[in-house]
């Protein structure tokens, strides 16, 4: 049986949505999955809205297009709810994950009648408690793994540690904070 999961990311330039989407694809690939991870480019500048995508499957992926009917949507910046229809095409049996201090019920009026599952995480709080700086992509990455179940959590953490150890080989002090942020985010999703 073929299982394909499609995820659409919404963020702003500089928040790491593109990086998180690519990291998820890399970790899924290292776990033996077939993947696509790619951004949609427009007029890139710091703070401008960006979109990125992930396709993760247990068999080869033959489609090569943007994702118009995602299983999951990740909103890295809550302010985008006021200007972009982040729920466009989102499957009712899927879910949306929003970086916010508010609870899901408060956000429902901004979700254009979406009736599926709504998850939230306060990525800023997770970052400040573990990293001392605000990098929302790290907790959002762990949170979507938890919600979607595309990779078992233990395998995800193991692959992320290996990836981050390689990426930050010259800054090993960064590894510990990022791993703490990932682990805490897995617990903080509401």
E strand or H helix at 37, and its extent? strand 34-40
What residue ranges of the chain have pLDDT lower than 70? 1-2, 41-45
CATH number at residue 46: 3.40.920.10
For 96-156, the three-class secondary structure string (H helix, E strand, C coil) is EEEECCCCHHHHHHHCCCCCCEEEEECHHHHHHHHCCCCCCHHHHHHHHHHHHCCCCHHHH
The confidence score (pLDDT) of residue 177 equals 86
Average model confidence (pLDDT) across the chain: 90
The confidence score (pLDDT) of residue 1 equals 38
Q: Rounded to whole angstroms, how far apart are CA atoms 110 and 102?
A: 12
Range of the domain at 65: 4-188
Count of domains in the chain? 1
Residue carrying structure tokens 């960064």: 174
Task: Encode pLDDT of 66-78 as tens digits.
Answer: 899 999 999 999 9
> pTM of this prediction?
0.91
The confidence score (pLDDT) of residue 5 equals 96
């Amino acid at each position: 049986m073929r299982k394909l999961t499609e995820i659409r990311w919404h963020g702003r330039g500089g928040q790491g949505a593109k990086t998180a989407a690519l990291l998820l694809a890399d970790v899924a690939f290292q776990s033996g999955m077939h993947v696509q991870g790619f951004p949609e480019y427009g007029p890139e500048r710091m703070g401008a809205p960006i979109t990125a995508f992930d396709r993760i499957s247990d068999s080869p992926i033959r489609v090569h297009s943007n994702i118009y009917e995602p299983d999951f949507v990740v909103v890295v910046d809550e302010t985008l709810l006021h200007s972009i229809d982040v729920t466009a095409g989102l499957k009712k049996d899927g879910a949306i994950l929003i970086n916010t201090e508010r609870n899901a019920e408060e956000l429902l009026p901004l979700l254009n009648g979406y009736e599926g599952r709504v998850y939230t995480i306060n990525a800023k709080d997770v970052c400040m408690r573990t990293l001392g700086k605000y990098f929302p992509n790290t907790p959002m990455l762990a949170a979507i793994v938890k919600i979607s179940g595309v990779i078992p959590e233990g395998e995800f953490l193991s692959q992320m540690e290996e990836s981050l150890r390689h990426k930050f080989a010259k800054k090993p002090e960064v590894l510990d904070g990022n791993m703490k942020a990932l682990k805490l985010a897995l617990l903080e999703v509401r």
